[in-house]
């Protein structure tokens, strides 16, 4: 006899195995073969241990103090070292950790910050229009004011963008509050949610906020 009796159970085993494998492949494809910009959790080491937690959180420096281009440009610029020195020529003036900053300010060598949030080249995200129209930094960057080292918290994938573009009302808030990352409509969660819904709809209507889902909105 070539095949012993136990082989009769083989087909079943194979069937289950194949099912699992297939599922695995599908999952793999879904994750890997899609543009690999679903990178939540990325946290590179920065040349200077700058803490947003201290500056934005505890000291309450407004985002726009350093990222001053964010309302004018598609790009939320990084401050030149000169901006840092505005304070740090008094505060911690000879802290070794700030050496790079001082050098940069002195002889105009750029500080090699590592970029955290990146979208592919063929995506044209524009900060100014989002910020001025009441989409808060927190919507995409999370509670940066609570991070010591900046970390990517949202996936930044296309579907992530789409979620908000399909329902702007869920994230829109008074433009005055965009840089107030912790801001809520109310301390009471339930009420806040309700107000967000009501006012969100109102803003979207009053400001003629478009729910852009066609290619041209982001790809050129």
Residue 208 interacts with another protein (CB under 8 A): yes or no: yes
63 contacts another protein (rule: CB under 8 A): no
Residue placing its CB nearer to another protein in the complex, 106 or 189: 106
Q: Which stretch binds another protein (CB under 8 A): 54-62, 140-148, 188-196, 204-212?
A: 204-212
State yes or no: residue 144 binds another protein (CB under 8 A).
Answer: no
- In the region spanning residues 2 to 31, those forming contacts with another protein, defined by CB under 8 A, are 2-8, 10-11, 26, 28-31
Q: Is residue 85 a contact partner of residue 33, using CB atoms and an 8 Å limit?
A: no
Alpha-carbon distance of 168 to 211, in angstroms, equals 7
Q: How many residues bind another protein (CB under 8 A)?
A: 81
**DSSP single-letter state for residue 71:** T
Span near another protein by CB under 8 A; candidates 16-24, 90-98, 103-111, 180-188: 103-111
- Candidates 16, 36, 182, 189; binder of another protein (CB under 8 A) is 36
Q: What DSSP assignment string belongs to 182-207?
A: T--S-SSHHHHHHHHHHHHHHHHHHT
Minimum CB separation of residue 80 from another protein in Å reads: 4
Count CA atoms closer than 13 A to 128's CA, side-chain side. Answer: 8
Which is closer to another protein, CB of 82 or CB of 99?
82
Asked if 175 touches another protein (CB under 8 A), the answer is yes
Query: Are the C-beta atoms of residues 141 and 127 closer than 8 Å to each other?
Result: no
User: According to the binding rule CB under 8 A, does residue 155 interact with another protein?
Assistant: yes
| Nearest CB to another protein, comparing residues 58 and 112 | 112
Near another protein by CB under 8 A: residue from 58, 89, 99, 132 = 132
Structure tokens at 105: 């300010």
| Whole-number Å distance between alpha carbons of 175 and 136 | 8
Q: How far is the CB of 93 from another protein (least distance, A)?
A: 18
Question: Cβ closer to another protein: 11 or 58?
Answer: 11
Give the one residue of 53, 64, 88, 133 binding another protein; rule: CB under 8 A. Answer: 133
Q: Is 65 exposed, middle or buried (0-12, 13-18, 19+ CB in 10 A)?
A: middle
State how far the Cα of 128 lies from the Cα of 147, in Å rounded to an integer: 23
Paired strand residues for 172: 135
């Amino acid at each position: 006899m070539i095949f012993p009796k136990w082989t009769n159970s083989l087909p079943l085993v194979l069937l289950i195995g194949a099912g699992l494998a297939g599922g695995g492949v599908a999952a793999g494809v879904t994750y890997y073969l899609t543009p690999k910009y679903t990178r939540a959790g990325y946290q590179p080491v920065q040349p200077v241990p700058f803490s947003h937690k201290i500056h934005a959180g505890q000291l309450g420096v407004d985002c726009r103090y350093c990222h001053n281009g964010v309302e004018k440009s598609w790009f939320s610029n990084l401050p030149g070292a000169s901006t840092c020195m505005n304070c740090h020529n008094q505060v911690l003036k000879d802290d070794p950790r700030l050496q790079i900053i001082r050098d940069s300010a002195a002889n105009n060598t750029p500080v090699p910050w590592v970029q955290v949030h990146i979208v592919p080249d063929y995506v044209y995200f524009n900060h100014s229009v989002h910020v001025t129209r009441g989409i808060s930094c927190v919507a995409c960057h999370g509670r940066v004011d609570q991070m010591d080292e900046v970390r990517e918290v949202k996936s930044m994938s296309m579907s992530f963008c789409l979620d908000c573009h399909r329902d702007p009302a869920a994230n829109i808030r008074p433009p005055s509050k965009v840089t107030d990352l912790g801001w809520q409509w109310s301390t009471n969660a339930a009420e806040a949610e309700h107000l967000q819904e009501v006012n969100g709809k109102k803003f979207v209507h009053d400001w003629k906020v478009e729910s852009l889902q066609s290619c041209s909105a982001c790809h050129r």
